[in-house]
Amino acid sequence: MDEYLEGKGLTPAEITVFKWQHGYHGDFFMSLFNSIALADDTNIERFVPGFPVEVEGYKKYTQELGWWTNVKNKMEKQD
């Protein structure tokens, strides 16, 4: 799946959020995203050393206006 998403032009952060939003991650990463979503700003930073891509993606998803729309637009592009 990652190769297909990379072929659509998605970045690693976009891929991990796409997989989270569509339930394509396994239990560990789904639980990780749920934990990140529950964490305050201080505790989110504690995830960064081990999961920098996931935190980057989550922050962009929740804080950058239009970011998720752009990811969805990439997915809709014809090959």
- pLDDT reading at 8 higher than 80: yes
49 inside domain: yes
CA–CA separation, 33 and 45 (whole Å): 13
The percent of the chain in helix, strand and coil, each rounded to the nearest 5, is 70, 0, 30
- The reported pLDDT for the residue numbered 30 is 94
Q: What is the mean pLDDT of residues 32-37?
A: 96
Range of the domain at 16: 2-74
Q: In this predicted model, which residue has the larger pLDDT, 3 or 62?
A: 62
24 in any annotated domain: yes
pLDDT of 79 higher than 70: no
In a domain, 15, yes or no: yes
How many structural domains does the chain have?
1
pTM (two decimals): 0.88
Residue 17 included in any domain? yes
> Could you tell me if residue 79 is inside a domain?
no
Averaged pLDDT, 9-20: 94
